[in-house]
């Protein structure tokens, strides 16, 4: 796996890969709103679906689309293009992503969206520590500086909305667990992209995740099917926009960009979530939050891989 001190791989070129990373961040950044809508209750009734059920539908509804994308991509790819089915890295990616979605959806529902997002932004720190201390790969000084700027920017972007409430401690811990699993996902997905295309990696990790989440849902959830059209629409939107769009574009980016740099997408997600909260929920953006967004963009520019 490449570290950020080495040039970006030339599978798609830096500019298209970075564009895919940014678009994927926007698509994933709106997922908390979809989770809230899908789990909303009407008139005191129970939630439309629980957190595990919404996570299951998130990865399963778009599987036909991901499969079609995989077949089209491999039909157009050169005959010598790598396409190892269900590699160890892809299987591990499915396991890690299952853990990520389980704790992420719990965090969204058991604490504030701001708290959940803030703790989830620790994912790039997990990636850097694993790559540097465990995998013994060199991480450039620019990466550390860029990560530091992003962390400060993320704190400024979300910090004003943080709520220190002991009643939400469980949800905050789920947010930290999300950072751990999502950080590992960047590393194993980058490894899987060396032996398969973006579509295959996205489809296979999603299929494994869907099977595991289906089992968890049957065990722990009393309501699997959405009860309202609004809940069903939220699940479809989350599956096709946040998962197929967001994770698919992330897989494309990981074919060319190092995992440490790609993990900074979590800060772009936080920016997207703040903007969507402003547009959809009417939550105002302060000067401090805007300054935090500027620091995030500066940090990503500083941490960019060599061309």
- What's the rounded mean pLDDT across residues 181-203? 94
Q: Is the pLDDT of residue 33 over 60?
A: yes
Q: Is the pLDDT of residue 273 over 80?
A: no
pTM equals: 0.85
Those residues with Cβ within 8 angstroms of residue 197's Cβ, 6 or more apart along the chain or in another chain: 70, 73, 74, 77, 81, 82, 83, 255
Cα torsion 268, 274, 276, 278: sign:
negative
Q: How confident is the model over 48-83, as pLDDT tens digits?
A: 788 889 899 999 999 999 999 999 999 998 888 888
Q: Which of 34-43, 146-155, 194-203, 281-290 has the lowest mean pLDDT?
A: 34-43
Closest of 229, 269, 238, 250 to residue 56, by C-alpha? 238
- What's the rounded mean pLDDT across residues 201-219? 96
> How many residues in the chain?
307
User: Distance between CA 254 and CA 88 in Å, rounded?
Assistant: 17
Q: Is the pLDDT of residue 92 over 90?
A: yes
User: Distance between CA 297 and CA 300 in Å, rounded?
Assistant: 5
Backbone φ, ψ for residue 227 (5° rounding): -100, -10
**How large a percentage of the chain has pLDDT more than 70?**
89
């Amino acid at each position: 796996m490449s570290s950020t001190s080495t040039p970006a791989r030339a599978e798609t070129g830096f500019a298209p890969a970075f564009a895919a990373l940014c678009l994927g961040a926007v698509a994933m950044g709106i997922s908390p709103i979809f989770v809230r809508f899908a789990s909303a209750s009407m008139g005191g009734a129970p939630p439309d679906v629980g957190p595990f059920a919404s996570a299951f539908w998130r990865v399963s509804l778009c599987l036909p689309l991901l499969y079609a994308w995989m077949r089209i991509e491999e039909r157009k790819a050169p005959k010598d293009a790598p396409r190892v089915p269900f590699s160890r890295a892809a299987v591990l990616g499915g396991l890690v992503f299952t853990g990520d979605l389980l704790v992420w959806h719990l965090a969204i529902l058991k604490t504030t969206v701001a708290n959940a997002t803030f703790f989830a932004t620790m994912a790039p720190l997990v990636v850097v520590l694993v790559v540097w201390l465990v995998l013994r790969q060199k991480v450039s000084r620019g990466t550390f500086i860029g990560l530091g700027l992003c962390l400060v920017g993320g704190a400024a972007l979300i910090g004003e909305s943080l709520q220190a409430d002991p009643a939400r401690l469980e949800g905050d811990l789920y947010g930290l667990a999300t950072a751990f699993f999502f950080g590992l996902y960047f590393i194993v997905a980058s490894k899987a992209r060396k032996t398969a295309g973006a579509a295959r990696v996205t489809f296979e990790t999603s299929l494994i995740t869907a099977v595991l989440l289906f089992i968890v849902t049957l065990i722990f959830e009393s309501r699997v099917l959405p009860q309202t059209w609004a809940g069903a629409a939220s699940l479809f939107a989350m599956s096709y926009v946040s998962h197929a769009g967001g994770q698919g574009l992330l897989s494309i980016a990981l074919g060319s960009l190092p995992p440490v740099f790609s993990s900074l997408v979590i800060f772009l997600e936080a920016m997207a979530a703040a903007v969507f909260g402003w547009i959809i929920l009417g939550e105002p953006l302060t000067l401090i939050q805007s300054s935090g967004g500027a620091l995030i963009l500066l940090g990503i520019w500083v941490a960019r891989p060599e061309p």
